[in-house]
Amino acid sequence: MHTAFHMEENNILNNEAADVQPPLKKKKTTALVITILVLLLAAAGGFYYFYTEQQKENDEATAYEILEDNESLDDYEDYLNRFPNSIHAAEVQGRYDNLVKMYNEWRGLNIGGTRYDYERFMKNYPNSVLVHQCEMKIDSLDWIAAKNEGTPEAIAEYVERHPEGRYLSEASIEQERAVDAQASDEEKTAIDMALTTFFRAFGSNDEETINMCITPVMTKFLSKTNATKVDVTGIVARTYNEHIKSCRFALNDDYVIKKSRNENGEIVYNVSFSTDQYIERDNEGKTFGSYTAEAILTEQFKISSLTMTEACRR
């Protein structure tokens, strides 16, 4: 019986030992799982950090690539705001500053830039997209200048400067008009003769010859509008007095003649020129005057308008 008691006691102890061992294994397993989870989380964190940094680098590279041949201030500002510490930040800032300067100059040009101003802008910013707009501005300015001058030479110069200009069709039309507006050599001779004869008669106060040179009513003679022949000869006569011994006009060979047609379809000649007046007198007073003059002559070469502006005297 004693032996049986001991055997039963040993069995109980063995069973208790068996019950104690499994909890130790669970603790080891839990620790291992936790360690693995920590490693996995660290690896995931490292991977996320690496991915995030890589994504930032990719975004920065893309944003920097966008700036190539780009003149949008918004894109430059976006880059500098997003990547202030980029290795390209200083370079991008410099390019941005240059663009701001360029656009400020461009706004100034659009207020009243000349052909020279636009040429200088293109020289300073040869790679800018605004160069094309400069070329268009110059094209317009050259056309306006040529049209205002209205001579075949001016139109031809525009065509030579702008063989693909926007106004070539208009230039062709204006070229024909400009040719038609040019007085022939015979017409120029007749105009010179008419004006020379008139001023010779003016200088000698020759009423008869003056009346031969003018229309019955001049739209303007000096400061008088709708001047009749009586008005004209009276004005000329009043420029003389007993102290003036002689008066002579010398026309300068600087005629600018524009030939056109009036509302009635008649040819008229608009003539710009200059003339000098020499006065001989026996008292103190004016002895010389230089004038710029504008005259209109009919197709019969009669003077229908004449104005004179004094440029200098002595």
Q: Examine the domain organization and report whether 192 and 291 are in the same domain.
A: yes
Residue 231 and residue 297 share a domain: yes
Answer whether residue 5 is part of any domain: no
SS3 162: coil
What is the C-alpha to C-alpha distance for residues 250 and 277, in angstroms, rounded to an integer? 6
Token representation of residue 186: 């015979």
Per-residue pLDDT of 48-106, as tens digits, reads: 555 455 666 688 888 898 998 889 999 999 999 999 999 999 999 999 999 999 999 99
More confident residue, 165 or 16: 165
Q: Write down the pTM of the prediction.
A: 0.53
Is pLDDT at 152 greater than 80 in this prediction? yes
Whether the pLDDT of residue 273 is over 90: the answer is yes
SS3 129: coil
Listed in sequence order, the DSSP H helices in 83-184 are: 89-112, 115-124, 130-149, 152-161, 168-180
Asked if pLDDT for residue 25 goes beyond 80, the answer is no
CB 284 within 8 A of CB 205: no
Give me the count of residues in the chain.
314
On whether both 304 and 245 belong to a single domain, the answer is yes
Torsion of CA 96, 101, 107, 111, to 10 degrees: 180
**Domain limit, last residue, from 127, 152, 180:** 180
Q: In the predicted model, what is the mean pLDDT of the chain?
A: 87
Percent share of the chain, pLDDT over 70: 84
Answer yes or no: do 258 and 138 share one domain.
Answer: no
- pLDDT tens track for 225-260: 999 999 999 999 998 988 998 999 999 989 999 888
Question: Do 210 and 144 sit in the same domain of this protein?
Answer: no
